[in-house]
Amino acid sequence: MSTNSERLDQCQDFGDVFELVKKSAEQSLGRRRAGLMLYLARLPKHIGAFHTMGTNGIVMNRTTLDMITHGARSMREINSYVYSILLHEYLHTLGYAEESDVRRLVHDVSLETFGPDHPATQIASKGPAAIFPNEAIGVSPNQSPDVEVIPDLEKSSRRYIS
């Protein structure tokens, strides 16, 4: 039986990571939901993603994701970033509205799921700068369309690196 850390390492796309997000949130908090969509959009660098309450959409910052995927040293780091961002927004979709509560829960769930030394827990604790050097998230690589829809997040095979 593989550990959660090994499961995250084996993730190949958004759908794989999101399955682990849902499982870890349900295990830690006893809550789960389905029917979400993921959108990739170019947003200001200080916004990793957002969810508008009452909708089924999560919008992830394509610019930051591109910088992370080009600056990361490993798939573990990339998957940890995607996990942390998706978990944060997933908690909003479960009805947690206060940012301070969500940040604390992301840390708590990550700690319970992966332990204190895992990159996902480090990101949850200190933000992406905890594992990504400033240079890795400072310059945007190739620009692509403004918004891309990942229509069925729970069955998506869309890879983050293209």
What's the CA gap between 65 and 50, in Å, rounded? 14
pLDDT value of residue 134: 63
pLDDT value of residue 154: 72
Confidence check: pLDDT of 147 > 80: no
pLDDT value of residue 86: 98
pLDDT value of residue 162: 52
Domain spanning 4-155: CATH superfamily: Metalloproteases ("zincins"), catalytic domain (3.30.2010.10)
What's the CA gap between 159 and 66, in Å, rounded? 12
Taking residues 63-85, report their average pLDDT: 94
What's the CA gap between 24 and 110, in Å, rounded? 8
| Domain positions in the chain | 4-155
Enumerate the β-bridge partners of residue 41. 61, 147
Q: Closest by alpha carbon to 124, among 93, 85, 159, 154? A: 85
Strand-by-strand arrangement of the 37-41 sheet: 49-51, 57-61, 37-41, 147-150
pTM: 0.86
pLDDT digits (tens, 9 = 90+) for 76-127: 999 999 999 999 999 999 999 999 999 999 999 999 999 999 999 999 999 9
